[in-house]
Amino acid sequence: MPNQLVERFESADLTFGVIGLGYVGLPLAVEAARSGIRVLGFDVKERVVAGVRDGRSHIQDLTDEEIAREVEAGRLDATTDMTRLGECDAVSICVPTPLSKTRDPDISFIFSATEAVAKALKPGQLVVLESTTYPGTTREIVLPELEKRGLRVGEDFFLCFSPERVDPGNRVWQSRNTPKVLGGITPNCAQVGLALYSRFFEALVPVSSTEVAELTKILENTFRAVNIGLANEVALIADRLGVDVWEVIDAAATKPFGFMKFTPGPGLGGHCIPVDPHYLSWKMRTLNYKTRFIDVASEINSHMPEFVVGKVGQALNRAGKAVNGSRVLVLGVAYKSDVDDVRESPALDIIRLLEAAGAEVEYHDPFVPRLEEDGRTWVGVPLTDEVLDAVDVAVIVTNHSAVDHTRVFERASIVVDSRNATRGLVPPAGGQREGWIVKGPVR
């Protein structure tokens, strides 16, 4: 069967099911459809399914036209009916893997999706888990559920793990041209998985097991989290030394070997970097091992919103004002520039801390006109001269390219810049540039 399936998956007409039509699943579904494969998307949200079927995109990285083109060609459809998984020759699971309130892995979405696949599992079917998770999930959680029907992995059905590598807002590296790591439960599983994915990914990176593929994804994001944590700690050190941390990092980056540039900021955000290292920490705790680098980096990164708010208080204090009662404008609530994603955004913590200190907080974000969090709703304000003139301090949290930071610098009386967006701008007479406070009264 494996050899026959490889030939079929490489060239024949197929139906490819994608469970979860979010930031990961929908681009995957569209890419597969572009290659000529019939794609059936599954999601529990009626709104998402209806939007796809009507040719509308709900994520920033895909346009309505890209969705509509595949729908109209009959290559892309969507449904909430999980019983239709039986129509699929292959199924990819792209569901969320958040953290619980205790910062432990929440794989309930993976388990629910696996149960749905298991009910419809048929001989010859390929199942690929793409959701980021701790090493061992595919073998220890997904495999036993699929084997309950009596089918044998590597012979009757095939199971792989292939981590998503989505970078929202990246116009260069997208689904097709980003190398795709894939590991199978057995060599036959990997062979079948590679045969399918070779049809819509330019480069494949086969690895020896699902555990290797799972740990590869965790390493990628842990690497970033730890190095950002180091950059943030250097920022704290530089602040105490009275040194410009960005100047230090730029100087270090001129070394052509042995240094990779990471920059400090207000904290971590997004669906991967703040979350994935905790999956590995949790797994290693079950093996009586402490992930010291990860834990320290997490502690530093999680305290950066407090550092930013401290700088706001410091700047206002120099102007003879208290945070309590001051009007603060937060510029950018998305977790990174030029995206509309607010998941785990440090801006949310900064807003909470400022409000807890009595500040009157407003925000502007061209990508997030409306913000709903913790049962509350904020509506962004326009970035007018009147708003900039009226606020006591403007805090640059996300450096969107659509925001005129020069105008912010010129109009706001005090600016706290956590992203170095105003570098090179010289404060007027009576102002100063000192670390993260780039414009304000002289000490």
Q: Which residues are catalytic?
A: 272
Q: Judge whether 67 and 175 are in contact, CB under 8 Å.
A: no
Task: Find tokens 């894939």 and name the residue.
Answer: 182
Q: Is 326 helix (H, G, I), strand (E, B) or coil?
A: coil
Torsion of CA 117, 119, 123, 126, to 10 degrees: 0
Q: Which backbone phi and psi does 184 adopt, to 5 degrees?
A: -110, 160
The counts of H helices and E strands in the chain are 16, 15
Q: In what order do the strands lie in the sheet with 415-417?
A: 360-364, 327-331, 393-396, 415-417, 437-439
Q: CB neighbours of 300 closer than 8 A, spacing ≥ 6?
A: 229, 232, 233, 236
Q: Judge whether 225 and 268 are in contact, CB under 8 Å.
A: yes
Please tell me the distance from the alpha carbon of residue 11 to that of residue 137, in angstroms, as a whole number: 30
Helix (H) or strand (E) holding 224: helix 210-241
CB-side exposure of 89: number of CA atoms within 13 Å?
A: 19
